[in-house]
Structure 1
Amino acid sequence: MAKRIDVKDLNAYYGGFKAVEDVTMTVEPRSVTAFIGPSGCGKSTFLRTLNRMHEVIPGARVEGSIRLDDRDLYGGEVDPVAVRRTVGMVFQRPNPFPTMSIFDNVAAGLKLNGVKNKARVSEVVEKSLRAANLWTEVKDRLAKPGAGLSGGQQQRLCIARAIAVEPQVLLMDEPCSALDPISTLAIEDLISQLKSRYTIVIVTHNMQQAARVSDRTAFFNLAATGKPGRLIEIGDTTKIFSNPVERATEDYISGRFG
């Protein structure tokens, strides 16, 4: 079941440096929300706060509130590992486990979660590969290394691995930046299909991609180098790209900076 994300007054730090300041937003379930903005404005940092990966970095911390439906992700009783099962992540560069087969890459999370029934594991692996539009390409070589696939196939394998554990939210940090145009189109088509079942948040430097795949767009910016990133504006993608409220948003989208 896709979940709604409510963020309120969020600040993210690396040691004493405030990287993201005072972000408040809502991410709707069963939709795609794109984060855009110039490099260094805190988009990826903020994305990682949504599944508690930010705090994995030594000295990193978060202030404020992130709620998944009614559950406070930073509550004292909440297990960060459980959060990361609920809020999956796909990274900028495809990162299949290099020593594992295609099958074992997808099954890794299931086995980590204690699923031992081989029939159940096989069923979920096939279902996940089908959902990632990869099954027909790999069904006859499931025992081959995942690292032997093309870049676009590896990224879809990583998406299959992420959804195999049935998350409610899927975060994607520039998932197409290392891919060729044909593979990029395949990932974009996949995102459009997956949003009927998941809440999807994507960071992208490609504004055309944001316009193509997202329902809502959030523009981040920073006042100057060394200053924290801030959410400038969030709204329906069509409105953000055609009639933004903030001048800075219009300047960025029209290419005046960034």
Structure 2
Amino acid sequence: MNPIVFHDYEGFLAKFKENPKTTDECWTPKDVYEAVLKYVGEIYPLEGKQILRPFYPGGDYEHAEYPSDGVVVDNPPFSMFTKICRFYMEHNIPFFLFGPALTIFSCCKHGATAVVIGRHIKFTNGADVPCNFASNLFGNILAATAPRLDKLIEACPSQDVKVGLPKYIYPDNLLSVSDLQIITRGDVTFQVERDFCVLIRRFAYMPKGKTLFGDHFLLSSAKAKVKAKAKVKAENRIPVPLSPAELDIISKLDSKDIKR
């Protein structure tokens, strides 16, 4: 029996008993793996395919036996992630892999697609890890969001996700205590005269029953611009302009959009 062919989760975990001290332990919760497999089946025909999991303790993904009807769906060591993606792309082996969140674009330079979700994944060892995915099942797509996969993972009992409250983006004309705290921590001086602000506790277009927490003030347009600049300076944000060469590249990309 081919050891990388996935038959059942319990059978897969049994491989760990042979290498109890390995550093390549797999902590992927069963329900999360099954959610990912479900998603893959929705975007790629898995009927008649063999699901492959080469990344188990003692496994050697580079010398494993890959059947022609196999699809790799697995959680590889992130320290080798780019190398692994390159290997599967060069050998034309279909794959859908868990990957690191912020450096997921490393797979793109080898022709794979970065598949992005919006959450951390809680693994069975207690680690809460920001993850995304990489795949060669999306053709010429460089990167894509996967809200469907995000929802499937969110629904997994192992994730025990608390319902997130909506986040509101307020206009620069709103002055809050937290704004002043940010500006103060950045060692930036900012002040508002009473004549240029008015007390406010809620916006007319806020959801019914929703109010601002504590007193806030509406600022004049001029003061709002000063406050916004003070926050940018306090947060040590440095604007990076585009060079003429980069602007030329963008112009050529824009021309492709116009032709479509």
TM-score scaled to structure 2, two decimals? Answer: 0.28
Structure having greater relative contact order (Cα 8 Å, sep ≥ 6): 1
